[in-house]
Amino acid sequence: MRTTLVLLLFTAAFLHAQTTTTLFGTVTDRSGGVVPSATVTATNSGTNFSRTAQTNASGEYRIEFLPIGDYSVEVAAQGFKKSIHKGIVLEVNVTARADATLDVGTLTEQVDVAAAAPLVDTANAQIGRTVENTEIVTLPIVGRNVYTLLELTPGVSSNVNSIVLGYPQQVTMVNGGVDGGAGSVNYYLDGGNNMTGLRNTGNIAPNPDAIEEFRVVTNSYGAEYGRSAGGVVNIITKSGTNQYHGSLFEFLRNTDLNAYNWLSLTSSPVHRNQFGGAFGGPIRKDKTIRQKNLWVSSGSGSLPSE
């Protein structure tokens, strides 16, 4: 029983580490002196989820296990004006730095700062790229397969979505890697393993409307990842917020819209409808938040040759 409990706690921490990120920084005054015992609170702008930490004797703070999203960081210390940094965007597995400089005053006074976290991550040796939701929504995606955006990451030279023994699989080559009959890249979905048991290749990804972002790590990934050494693909699905939001879509292909193949006088007999939607919002504000996604595909005919 004790062994099972330890295993469950370890698994929960493992999954949590792969879907969250860390915020750290240093709090100083205008003269450059450090401010110990300052209270730092990071609050998610969409859900009001927050975590609090105090600076140490060197004026440093570190907040672990923060879900991705837009944050504001509030810094308060006795004898100083309260400072609020807005527009801090946290990405999955990307350690973010947010330093604060306090002005002498009272806590009833407030200084608002609009500044994003630095683009260069100096606290982590990982090499990779986060494909953000804006890119997923606006860039063309072949077959509504989000894996086609993997090649936006430098070093990812080829990716193939195929069917082997009746099962769809994703094979990705990173930094010159090859497919030697088994996959060489780790695939995760919301922190859980998303790989087939057949050849250690990637399972099919959710539809793009359900995905918030994904990160591709091509080198020097952390100890929380294991298994294959070729790289990491970590997909994070959308979560709800305190504001109701949603979307509807339909993608249509038929013989009236399809172009002719080379040296062909007719278009390919493809009739396909892909439609669905997403809806999210609070069940209980600041307490229980839900995101639902629906995706339906129907079609007939043969696909045109690429």
DSSP symbols for the chain = -HHHHHHHHHHHHHHHHHHEEEEEEEEEETTS-B-TT-EEEEEETTT--EEEEE--TTSEEEEEEEESEEEEEEEE-TTB-EEEEEEEEE-TT--EE--EEEPBS-TTSEEEEE-PPPSS-SS---EEEEE-HHHHHHS--GGG-GGGGGGGSTTEEEEEEEEETTEEEEEEEETT---SSS--SEEEETTEE-B-TTTS-BPPPPPGGGEEEEEEEEES--TT--S-SS-EEEEEE----SS-EEEEEEEEE-TTTPPBPTT-SSB---EEEEEEEEEEEEEETTTEEEEEEEEEEEEES-PPP-
- Identify the band that residue 8 occupies on the pLDDT scale cut at 50, 70 and 90: very low
Mean pLDDT of the chain: 81
For residue 294, name the pLDDT band (cuts at 50, 70, 90).
low
| More confident: 48 or 197 | 48
**Close Cβ partners of 71 (under 8 Å, ≥ 6 residues apart):** 23, 42, 43, 44, 45, 88, 89, 90
Provide the pLDDT for residue 108.
74
> What is the per-residue pLDDT across 182-235, written as a single tens digit (0 to 9) for each?
778 899 999 888 988 777 888 888 888 889 999 999 987 777 777 777 889 999
Place of tokens 């693909």: 233
Weakest-pLDDT range from 121-125, 213-217, 248-252? 121-125
Residues 6+ apart with CB under 8 A from 131: 149, 152, 153, 213, 214, 215, 216
Q: pTM of the prediction?
A: 0.76
Task: Return the CATH fold of 127-237.
Answer: Ferric Hydroxamate Uptake Protein; Chain A, domain 1 (2.170.130)
d(CA 67, CA 59): 24
What is the per-residue pLDDT across 132-149, written as a single tens digit (0 to 9) for each? 999 998 898 877 889 999
User: Between these two residues, 50 and 4, which has the higher pLDDT value?
Assistant: 50
Mean pLDDT comparison of 12-16, 180-184, 248-252, highest-scoring range: 248-252
Give ranges for CATH 2.170.130.10 in the chain.
Answer: 127-237
Query: Domain spanning 2-114: which CATH class is it, in words?
Result: mainly beta
- pLDDT above 90: residue 76: yes
Q: Is the pLDDT of residue 286 over 50?
A: yes
Q: Give the lowest-confidence range in 16-20, 130-134, 173-177, 249-253.
A: 16-20
The pLDDT value recorded for residue 121 is: 67
Residues of the chain with CATH 2.60.40.1120: 2-114
Mean pLDDT along residues 280-289: 78
**Of 60-64, 159-163, 186-190, 254-258, which range is least confident?**
159-163
Phi, psi of 4 (to 5 degrees): -65, -40
Taking residues 76-91, report their average pLDDT: 92
pLDDT computed for residue 180 by the predictor? 58
| Residue whose pair of structure tokens reads 């860390």 in the numeric block | 22
Nearest to 249 by CA among 144, 133, 149, 161: 144
Cβ atoms of 237 and 67 closer than 8 Å: no
pLDDT given at position 118 = 63
Greater confidence, 218 or 116? 218
Which amino acid, one-letter code, is at 257?
Answer: L
The band of 11, judged by pLDDT with boundaries at 50, 70 and 90, is very low
What's the angle, vertex CA 206, arms to CA 151 and CA 137, rounded to 5? Answer: 60
For the ranges 81-90, 196-205, 264-273, the lowest mean pLDDT is seen at: 264-273
**Average pLDDT for 251-259:** 79
The pLDDT, as a whole number, for residue 153 is 93
- What is the band of 293 on the pLDDT scale with cuts at 50, 70, 90? low
